[in-house]
Structure 1
Amino acid sequence: MNRLDRLTAILIHLQTKRVVRAQELADRFGISLRTVYRDVRSLEQAGVPIGAEAGVGYFLTDYHLPPVMFTSAEASALLLGGKLIEKWADQSIRTEFESALFKIKSILKRADQEHLDDLDAQINVVKPAFRVPYSDDLLNDLQQAIARQYVLHIHYHSQYNDAETQREVEAVGLYHYRMSWHLIAFCRERQDYRDFRVDRIRQLTNTGEQFSRRDRLSLQEYLARVGKTNMPIVEVTLVFQKSVTRYMQEQKHAYGFQHDEDLGEHVRMHFQTPYLAGLARWLLMYGNSVTIERPNSLRQLMQNLAEEIQQHYTESSVSNLH
């Protein structure tokens, strides 16, 4: 990016927030803080009214750029984002994004509009196969509650015990993992943080009451806390037949994959995990295509699981079901 483009991008960035830290600009554009200071001075000399607060950041004082044209690549990126939103967000978000995308397309050059129309039919995203949500109109309300620190009353279906509960919660953040959106919130009934799957919320009511964000963990702090465990980390070394490794490219990371070594027809993989039992059950699917080099405790777990399966499928066990 040349300097002129960077100055324009910095000015646009300053319009996106009330205050922008110098380090944030340095990180985004891959430049030093000294370069940030020099660029800001250049904008000021060009007549842009930029204010600064020591230790806080920069801000614009009553200044707005005229509408900015999008490049073809930027518009294509928005189209791709729309495809993901179409399948991974609910109706409340889809509606608003579609409206925003129409506004963006309306200011594009005719050639870029035709480019998006041609591209639209060539990109698709498979809809995730999870249970149908109780409501298809919650994500927008949840975002507003998080931003404005509202207390919510939720009617929730707990899957593990098939129970219905009603809670008052203070919305901390939204987190997407394991194919679903999750509301992270402080539950007033439990007096602790809880993880609620959004597709299991039967009903959502905004109480209008606000809570203080200073009294609660941020989403990042919550995730850091739940990511910690007091269980000892175990070093695991496994040797797989190379022919089966193509089936585990994503899954292996969930079990603490660290690195691998190419052994020709085999691959040695190194893992670190506190959950040997879970790792053992995952390895069952690879049968004799995997060999455990260490630890012996994992080898013993696999032997125990194999014996359980063998016992379960003996003729006497099967006959007891009839």
Structure 2
Amino acid sequence: MNDHYLKKIDRITAILTQLQSKPIVRAQDLAEKFEVSIRTIYRDIKTLENAGIPIIGEAGNGYSLMDGYKLPPVMFTKDEVLSFITAEKLMQHFSHESLGAHYKTAMEKLRSILKYSDKKLLENIEKQIDIYNYYPKTEDYIKNIIPTILQSIAEKVQICIDYKTVDEKISTRTIEVVGVFFEFNYWYLIAYCTLRKDFRQFRVDRILKLNKTQNPFLQEYGQINDYRKNPNANKTIVKLLVEKKIMPHLGNSKIYYGLTEEKETENGIELTFETEWISEGFPRWLITFTDYAKIIEPESLKTTMKELIEKISKNLSQYS
């Protein structure tokens, strides 16, 4: 059997797996995934149909398996089996506690269908992999909070929350959740707030109480990344000229503070930010490498930095 037929068998098997895992699969998406022509995908679908697989759909729309049709358990490669244990270690350290128990039971089910040699492989390797996390886990007031939030998204119903702000003020909000995300060791949700008539970002561990209502919402909000990139907030454009040698030390923090463009010039790296923390957060971050940076704009940031440096200098003078 030549290499061409081996690749075809692998691709057809993978297409069958896609049909098992998704309600509908488009030929265009399959063609992009396997880097073949759409015509090749049509032929592969025909091969599956000829083998007796009941596929519903047609070219140009999408394909799915007939409802109720059962396939034998999927077989995993060794590389896929090893990826499971790595993912499990990551979930143990970085997943939200309300998701951890559900993931653990899912992994137990997955392990149960592995063949004996693969189970032994996991047993032998799992103690050789570890993840070191130096950030303490946050504690939530509500058990299973993220699954409840995800249910509200799936069911498209509003939730009512009691929320404590950073200055310890508590307010009650009815919100329509767009999505959740993890950043800098905290879980957040982005939602439309019916009180403010606008989109807001909430830190999950500051939610004191949560009730899933029976009130549906009909608005289609799209993907969470649409709001992460363009959240509704008062933003200030900041431009810095930074020495190249300090760039590796900025890491992901520059993204956190609103980096939108990074351009190399003869005099250094020009960084452009859109930040809503121009008064406090951004200046205090900038002070950590201000000896390697020049503020291009705005002028107000230069004034803020001078005042901050003077305050630091005054505080330090008491130790001289």
Q: Which of 234, 239, 248 is residue 250 of structure 2 equivalent to? A: 248
Change (3 A) 1:301 1:150: closer
Structure 1 residue 128 displacement after superposition: 3.4
Instruction: Name 1:34's counterpart in structure 2.
Output: 39
Change (3 A) 1:189 1:273: closer
Residue 124 in structure 1 maps to residue 135 in structure 2 = no
Q: Which of 189, 195, 199 is residue 193 of structure 1 equivalent to? A: 199
Q: Which of 97, 114, 119 is residue 113 of structure 1 equivalent to? A: 119
Structure 1 letter corresponding to 2:108 = F
Distance 2:208 2:119 in 1: 40
Distance 1:187 1:92 in 2: 24
Instruction: Name 1:52's counterpart in structure 2.
Output: 57
Distance 2:223 2:93 in 1: 24
Structure 1 residue 98 displacement after superposition: 0.8
Residue 10 in structure 1 maps to residue 15 in structure 2 = yes
TM-score (norm 2): 0.81
Structure 1 residue 55 displacement after superposition: 4.8
The number of aligned residues is: 307
Distance 2:250 2:91 in 1: 27
Structure 1 residue 284 displacement after superposition: 2.4
- Preserved contact between residue 42 and residue 59 of structure 2 (Cα < 8 Å): no
Instruction: Name 1:286's counterpart in structure 2.
Output: 289
Q: Which of 80, 84, 87 is residue 78 of structure 1 equivalent to? A: 84
Distance 2:302 2:234 in 1: 24
1:18 aligned counterpart, secondary structure: coil
Match runs of 1:84-99 below 5 Å: 84-99=90-105
2:23 aligned counterpart, secondary structure: coil
Structure 1 residue 250 displacement after superposition: 2.5
Stretches of structure 1 that go unaligned for 5 or more consecutive residues are none
TM-score (norm 1): 0.80
Q: Which of 136, 143, 156 is residue 149 of structure 1 equivalent to? A: 156
Distance 2:97 2:173 in 1: 24
Instruction: Name 2:309's counterpart in structure 1.
Output: 309
Identity among equivalent positions (%) equals 31
Stretches of structure 2 that go unaligned for 5 or more consecutive residues are 1-5
Change (3 A) 1:84 1:135: farther
1:3 aligned counterpart, secondary structure: helix
Residue 203 in structure 1 maps to residue 209 in structure 2 = yes
Change (3 A) 1:56 1:198: farther
- Preserved contact between residue 79 and residue 120 of structure 1 (Cα < 8 Å): yes
Structure 1 letter corresponding to 2:221 = L
Structure 1 letter corresponding to 2:285 = W
Residue 219 in structure 1 maps to residue 223 in structure 2 = yes
Distance 1:114 1:158 in 2: 49
Structure 1 residue 44 displacement after superposition: 1.7
- Preserved contact between residue 90 and residue 137 of structure 1 (Cα < 8 Å): no
